[in-house]
Structure 1
Amino acid sequence: MSVRLGINPLTWTNDDLPELGGDTPLDVCLSEGKQAGFSGFELGHKFPRTPEALGPILDSHKLSLVSGWFSGELLMRTAEDEIAAIASHLNLLKALGSKVMVYCEVTDCVHGQRETPLSHSPRMTESQWEVFILRLNKLADDCYKKGVQLAYHHHMGTVIETEADIRRLMAETNPSLGLLLDTGHLTFAGGDPIAVQRDFADRIVHVHCKDIRPSVMADAKNRDLSFLNAVLNGVFTVPGDGFIDYVTLFKGLKASDYSGWLVVEAEQDPSVAHPLTYATLGHKNLMAFCAEAQLDVI
């Protein structure tokens, strides 16, 4: 089995803080991502959202569409309403060849609120868990039948944040729901990406690769900063520029025959972390880690 290397446009322009990289054209993101060595991109807020508009743009750069984030609201609306809300996004991904959709429940989330500390991350009550799981299973089943699998994104500042949250989510949901393993978010939340990969290898359908600067993370936790302020302070960086053990993680992916994308998604301030420099470093390091883990890259 083999993997492909992709990147998220957060390296150049930020969806949660649009002023970061706000003047950077989409063409620059795509051309520099290709120059750095990546073969695909995830969606960002500057991307056209119809296959007719986006397809030719990606083709002109010889890039694939990896996937794209959808902000779920299953705690606020029925599964049927969510299925309707997600339809155009699913159709875009499917039309351009994406196999998975990045999905995250954002009801009461705080990751986009710069003045809200991460200690205020939302928690679900037992009754909310019951509703959420029931609706999520219906949604995941429907998307799977239509040819695009949900890849649930555990995320700082949301209702599924910690390793315990992930373990409960995996225990109570149908196999139609895939797991997006985000190394940076899980480490920031105090979890162990290697243990999660080992225990849920058969559910992992997408991987986000970001690293952590441990001193910045410790400071963010000590001062109970918001997610966005932690990002601005440089808590995240590209793989190999922090302390996460990617070689061991990738050996686990190799053993489980993972064959999806490895996506660099390391949001930083582009005025501080030069996008092309960090994209190139991220690709170089991923290639080296894959080689050491004997994980084939196509």
Structure 2
Amino acid sequence: MAEIRHLQLGSCPDSWGVWFADDPRQTPWPRFLDELAGSGYRWLELGPYGYLPTDPAELRDELAKRDLSCAGGTVAGVGGPHKDFATVLAETRKVAELTAALGAENLIFVPVPGYRDDVTNAYHEPAELSPDGWQALIDNSNTLGRVLAEEYGLKMRFHPHADYHVETQAQTERFLAETDPRYVSLCLDTGHLAYRQADVPAIIRKFPDRIGYVHIKQMDPAIAERAVREDMAFGRAVAMGASVEPPAGLPDIPSVLEALNELDAELFVVVEQDMYPVDFDLPLPIATRTRQYLNSVGL
């Protein structure tokens, strides 16, 4: 495939095994930034708030001396917008201030933790929202998107996520159909959707104007199937190696890129290979090979 010039390739802390602001099992942030730059990426998504420095001047300096730029900020760890919305909004504002200060325009909202515990496998709430819960999700997502747009000049990119109430193709399409396109668009996570057997190119083609940002990764279909069969939490599946280095899994990357190439939009495509926890020496070679593979298919 020829180079797709309107898609910009980046990566993020998740591809180095970072899920939390502070965890001794995670790569220290200076090493992450060094290795991100060393593996050939120039665009960065910030990851969990507090992992990287939160002082805008300090972070700008750290990125600049490595020739890195910010593609977007990440809200994660506060749960979904369908409950405790005051807390969700307050945490989102902190990320929004930092993201805007770095000159980025994308705010990726990752609704975790979801309905079950990654460690214990226990369900915190039903896997399907009640009608009132779904309406709260829609209303609060619209509000969040409007606040980000009007007060910070940012665009909300909602991230479907395994073990959250927007994880399947049907749920994702319903979410897009019912939210306000002025304020809410999708962070299309190819791996999470494939994990729940979605047709990713079909979603892109059905909602071309709502694809605002992309997390590109693949999943091992055998582990995904086992997770369903054994009623296994997503975190456990990841620890077993569910998220795989392309082109070893699903969805088919060239098919996804073909659909993205049809869009008339500048998009960031950010590698987000879930690897928590991971030995500190593993991410760099994987990230380098992943960039090389994605370059070879047009990114």
- Range class of TM-score, shorter chain: 0.7 to 0.9
- Structure 1 unaligned regions, length at least 5: 291-296
TM-score normalised according to structure 1 size: 0.88
Match of 2:274 in 1: 267
Match of 1:288 among 282, 293, 296: 296
TM-score normalised according to structure 2 size: 0.87
Give the deviation of 1:81 after TM superposition: 6.3
Match of 1:7 in 2: 11
Give the deviation of 1:108 after TM superposition: 5.1
Query: Are 2:48 and 1:42 aligned?
Result: no
- Structure 2 unaligned regions, length at least 5: none
Query: Are 2:35 and 1:28 aligned?
Result: no
Match of 1:67 among 62, 65, 72: 72
Q: Distance in 2 between matches of 1:14 and 1:85?
A: 19
Cα deviation, 1:31-60, whole Å, max 9, x if unaligned, reads 111121111222234211221221111111
* Cα distance, 1:108–1:255 mapped onto 2, change above 3 Å: closer
Q: Distance in 2 between matches of 1:74 and 1:120?
A: 14
Match of 1:294 in 2: none
Q: Is the 8 A contact 1:8 1:265 kept in 2?
A: yes
Match of 2:253 among 246, 256, 261: 246
* Cα distance, 1:213–1:117 mapped onto 2, change above 3 Å: farther
Match of 1:279 among 284, 287, 290: 287
Match of 1:113 in 2: 118
Cα deviation, 1:126-164, whole Å, max 9, x if unaligned, reads 111122212221221221223110000000111211111
Q: Is the 8 A contact 2:42 2:69 kept in 1?
A: yes
Q: Distance in 2 between matches of 1:38 and 1:177?
A: 27
Q: Is the 8 A contact 1:207 1:262 kept in 2?
A: yes
Matched to 2:216, the amino acid is C
Give the deviation of 1:85 after TM superposition: 3.8
* Cα distance, 1:200–1:74 mapped onto 2, change above 3 Å: same
SS at match of 1:69: strand
Q: How does 1:136-151 map to 2 (within 5 A)?
A: 136-145=141-150, 146-151=152-157
* Cα distance, 1:185–1:108 mapped onto 2, change above 3 Å: closer
Q: Is the 8 A contact 1:186 1:193 kept in 2?
A: yes
* Cα distance, 1:17–1:96 mapped onto 2, change above 3 Å: closer
Matched to 1:14, the amino acid is V
Match of 1:134 in 2: 139
SS at match of 1:258: coil
Matched to 1:161, the amino acid is E
Matched to 1:139, the amino acid is L
Q: Is the 8 A contact 1:217 1:235 kept in 2?
A: yes
Query: Are 2:216 and 1:209 aligned?
Result: yes
Query: Are 2:223 and 1:219 aligned?
Result: no
Q: Is the 8 A contact 1:118 1:156 kept in 2?
A: no
Q: Is the 8 A contact 2:80 2:114 kept in 1?
A: no
Q: Is the 8 A contact 1:11 1:265 kept in 2?
A: yes
* Cα distance, 1:205–1:50 mapped onto 2, change above 3 Å: same
Q: Distance in 2 between matches of 1:84 and 1:272?
A: 33
Matched to 2:19, the amino acid is D
Give the deviation of 1:194 after TM superposition: 1.0
Query: Are 2:196 and 1:192 aligned?
Result: no
Give the deviation of 1:266 after TM superposition: 0.5
SS at match of 2:209: coil
Moved more, 119-128 or 185-194: 119-128
SS at match of 1:220: helix
* Cα distance, 1:186–1:4 mapped onto 2, change above 3 Å: same
